Amino acid sequence: MNRTKNLYIVLIFSFITALGFSLYFYNHVQEYDEKIAKMKALPSLPQYHIALIGEEKDHDYWRLVGEGAKEAEVIYDTFVEYEGPKRSNPEEQLKLLDMAIQSNVDGIIVQALNENFKVLINEAENKGIPVVTIDTDAPDSMRETYIGTDNYLAGQLAGEALLEDTTGEVNVGVVTGSFQNKHHQLRVEGFKDVIKKEDRIKIVAIEESNILRVESEDKAYQLLNDHKNITAFYGTSSYDGIGIVAAAKSLDRLEDLYVIGFDTLDENIELLKNEELNVVIGQQPFQMGYDSIGIMLDIIKGKTVEDIYYTEVSILRKSDLTASNNKGGADD
């Protein structure tokens, strides 16, 4: 009888122990499954790493290019590393380009400010890193494609506006972002080629602002003092119009001037509304940034792309302003 009792006790004890172990392992398996499910739900790391390098990281214009690219990031499973010097500095911009090449990113989108960019663009391409130029092209490099304004056309539009809106003799002072940089050269070239159609319009002097508003103001001030006959101004970079207006105001000469500025930044739109700027040439910085990512992904995936993607460039006068484009920034 005792033996049977002991057997029962052993059996019950074994049963309870087995049950305990089963529950213990069941819980572990459950926790493990939950962990796996959580990990699967985690957003994975983006598949592609793209470097975007512009002229001046925090410049109002470049901020819009960066914002456009960042908005496209999620759609294309991409991480966009938006970079640029703090102040316009082509040497530093070249270093950033070199760093992007050394870190073997999947693609590089870069503003090719001048001839020196060609060497590094070709180096990247030879290493198998596709390069797209943005805002300013390097057509004789190995770059895959260009996205941005037709800068020669932008200059022509500025010239046509001047022809349309003025009569009689016009003496123009030009303030350009840079003598060295390709896009500013094209903007001046396009302008010159249009105004030369009429003898009544002459350029009296050209100065450069280094895309700085203080320098635009200084140069416009100097031009107004040195050339009392100036009746019009053409500024080829974002802050040039602002500097020209400030200089003309301080000399009480704004009333008699016709002023063309560049880029639909809030301040330029304000000046247009107040009739202090007569015309603003509008580019599409947000669109450039946004589209550049899709194009880069097409290239990475081996699709054929066009040689150039021109974004829209437009002439804006006060009469063209509507509630929607008054917000400034990109005229999207």
Residues that bind ligand BGC (CB under 6 A): 55, 59, 61, 135-136, 177, 183, 211, 237-238, 262-263, 283
Cβ-based neighbour number of residue 228 at 10 Å:
8
The residue among 288 and 297 lying less far from ligand BGC, judged by its C-beta, is: 288
In angstroms, give the least distance from the CB of 222 to ligand BGC.
20
Q: List all residues 6 or more positions away from 83 whose beta carbon is below 8 Å from its beta carbon.
A: 51, 52, 53, 54, 57, 96, 100
Give the residue with the Cβ less far from ligand BGC, 78 or 285.
285
CB-nearer residue toward ligand BGC: 106 or 291: 291
Smallest distance from ligand BGC to CB 88, Å: 7
Of all helices (H) and strands (E), which one includes residue 141? none
Please name every residue paired with 259 in a beta bridge, in sequence order, or none if there are none. 233
Containing H/E element for 80? strand 78-83
Residue 221, token pair as written in the block:
């001030």
- Considering the complex, state which of residue 78 and residue 84 has its C-beta at the smaller distance from ligand BGC: 84
Q: If DSSP codes are grouped into helix, strand and coil, which group holds residue 22?
A: helix
Kindly report the three-state secondary structure assignment for every residue of 187-227. Answer: HHHHHHHHHCCCCCEEEEEEEECCCCHHHHHHHHHHHHHHC
- For the bound state, the minimum distance from the C-beta of residue 137 to ligand BGC, rounded and expressed in Å, comes to 11
How open is the CA angle 143-238-316, to the nearest 5 degrees? 100
Q: How far is the CB of 174 from ligand BGC (least distance, A)?
A: 14
Nearer to ligand BGC, 46 or 90 (CB): 90
Give the residue with the Cβ less far from ligand BGC, 144 or 215: 215
H helices present in 107-208, as ranges? 117-126, 151-165, 182-195
What 3-state DSSP class applies to 321?
coil
Number of continuous H segments (helices) and E segments (strands) in the chain: 10, 12
Nearest residue to 276 via CA among 311, 298, 250, 312: 250
Report the residue number, 136 or 145, with the smaller CB distance to ligand BGC: 136
